[in-house]
A = this chain, B = another copy of it.
Amino acid sequence: MNFASDNVSGAHPKLIEAIAAANAGPAMPYGNDPLTDAVTQRLRQVFEAPRAAVALVGVGTAANALALATLCPPWGAIYAHRIAHIEVDECNAPEFFTGGAKLTQIDGAHALLDADALAATLGAAGAGVVHNAQPGALSLTQATERGGTYTPEAVAGLARIARNHGVAVHMDGTRLANALAATGASPAEMTHRAGVDVLCLGATKCGALGAEAVILFDPEAHPGRAWELALRRKRAGHLFSKMRFVSAQMMAWLADGLWLELGATANARATALRKGLEAAGVEILTPAGVNLFFARLTAVQHRALQAAGAHYYTGPADTEGAVEARFVCSFATTEDEVNAAIAALS
């Protein structure tokens, strides 16, 4: 009963098998191998982006920071939600990779960026004024850190505002599989067709050992940036010599829609847990759909869940012992775990 994060789960067996299969014979290093080529081809098909440039890395923070550094100069501002992972949980990685860009916080319910707030901030940003950080990049997380999801129309609306201010769009897709499974949108609809320039597609939280793809959908619209991305990856120490073992994960994850299947499973487990807790009297704080949600637990509920062995992160307790708790399910969460947690409150 570990609901602490989707990264407490291991990897899907098919990815382990793929790694073992990739271990046959020599292969050219640093991504000059057939499997890595195949990943690029596969991602171009999946995202209907025939020219996309792809850079694989092993950690989501690296993917985000590399993508942002490619879009935003050192004197730029990156617009993100005030609780976005890149703002809160990456120990200044975006600032490091960009060479000192500034993260500017935008607000919005459920960690979804509010379009009006974004427009207001960009409108007052001081573009062209040498004293001010220059508008650099918009970063949105899909699904958000609070379990929110954008529709393709919502993404397009934010991207349009960004575009009007000359700002490129980054999507932190560490849970994109969950968001696509939840919304039914196609990969292309949710990303470049809605105006996303660069996607960080995260497989790690959804069944991989450690595999993330930075996808620059249209290198021709960003001259020189694909090569820059490759160089930035190398000098940040993220170009694996035995890249085939990352590529093997990504290929297996994308094969036969496994990624969306795993996302859907995680979503279903969270939905069941959510419903069960709600039925048991727990106040749910965030939207339904993807594989995580926040709830307010009374002191009694919290004790009961902990006594049953459930793991989850909480904020500080209020004066009556109530806490805000985050529950995350993964592809590996079982129905038994969900039921056991619900049973603890009955």
Contacts and interface: CB of A to CB of B under 8 A. Distances in A.
Interface of A: 2, 4-5, 7-11, 13, 16, 19-20, 22-30, 57-66, 73-76, 88-93, 95-103, 105, 130-134, 204-205, 209-210, 228, 230-232, 234-242, 244-246, 332
A25 to B, nearest CB: 7
Nearest to A99: B99
Contact of A234 (B16, B95, B131): B131
Contacts of A98: 100
A102 B101 contact: no
A133 B57 CA distance: 20
A220 B61 CA distance: 30
A315 to B, nearest CB: 9
A28 B116 CA distance: 35
A4 B103 CA distance: 29
Given A8-B29, A25-B10, A92 B65 contact: no
A210 B58 contact: yes
A58 B243 CA distance: 11
A26 B8 contact: yes
A249 to B, nearest CB: 10
Contacts of A240: 58-59, 210
B209 A242 contact: yes
B16 A20 contact: yes
Nearest to A123: B316
A152 B30 CA distance: 32
Contact of A11 (B58, B134, B230, B245): B245
B100 A209 contact: no
Nearest to A65: B237
A74 B96 contact: yes
A2 B65 CA distance: 35
Contacts of A228: 73, 75
A279 B196 CA distance: 55
Nearest to A88: B132
A61 B63 CA distance: 17
Contacts of A244: 10
B57 A237 contact: yes
Contacts of A235: 61, 74-75, 90-93, 96, 100
A62 B238 contact: yes
A11 B28 contact: no
A71 to B, nearest CB: 15
Contacts of A66: 237
A238 B237 CA distance: 8
Given A10-B242, A238-B238, 18 more contacts: A8-B28, A10-B25, A59-B239, A61-B234, A61-B237, A64-B237, A65-B237, A74-B95, A75-B234, A89-B131, A92-B235, A96-B236, A99-B99, A102-B103, A130-B230, A134-B231, A210-B242, A210-B245
